[in-house]
Amino acid sequence: MRTFEQLGAGTSLHPKIRRMHEYWLAKRADRHMPARADIDPLELRDCLGNLCIVDVTGDMPPRFRFRLDGSNLVLSTGFDMTGKFLEEMPDAGYRRFVTAIYQRVVETRAPAFVVNQEDWKGYDLQVESVTLPLSSDGARVDGILDAIFTVVQR
């Protein structure tokens, strides 16, 4: 059973999670959420290897296609999701976990802060993430910016 805990913006442990949330807030400005076009990966160089940029389809239920799966995440998990849909993720348990978070973000149109335990490539890891909604029209979530960082390796 995967263990996880939802956090609030102020309780995040990892400084880059806080940085990503602050970046999202700045790009959002006076809107409910920023657009994918507002996100400049070059402004996030220090986090890029730990980011996923995901397209959200208009299907019901929505499908999630990874535009980018950060290089550090690929090394940690052992699989590269770039260009693939979430349902192609080889780890079924992790796929269900990520699907639930992404669906929650689409429904609430709000960030999700999570800390959880992962067993990636035989390493027991405590992982912290922030999943941030993106919208080109300001109403429907059509993208996700996901930042995932290891907090503790056991």
34 has a pLDDT exceeding 90: yes
* 98 vs 3, residue with greater confidence: 98
**What residue spans define the domains of the chain?**
4-153
- pLDDT, the chain, mean: 88
Among 2-11, 102-111, 124-133, 139-148, the least confident range? 2-11
88 has a pLDDT exceeding 80: yes
Q: What fold, for 4-153?
A: Beta-Lactamase (3.30.450)
> For residue 1, what pLDDT is reported?
34
pLDDT tens digits, 6-26: 555 566 668 999 999 999 999
84 has a pLDDT exceeding 60: yes
What is 72-86 written as a DSSP string? Answer: HHHHHHS---TT-BG
> For residue 118, what pLDDT is reported?
72
What is the model's pTM?
A: 0.89
What is 38-101 written as a DSSP string? Answer: G--GGGGTTTGGGEEEEEE-SSSS--EEEEEE-HHHHHHHS---TT-BGGG-S-HHHHHHHHHH
Q: Is 27 helix (H, G, I), strand (E, B) or coil?
A: helix
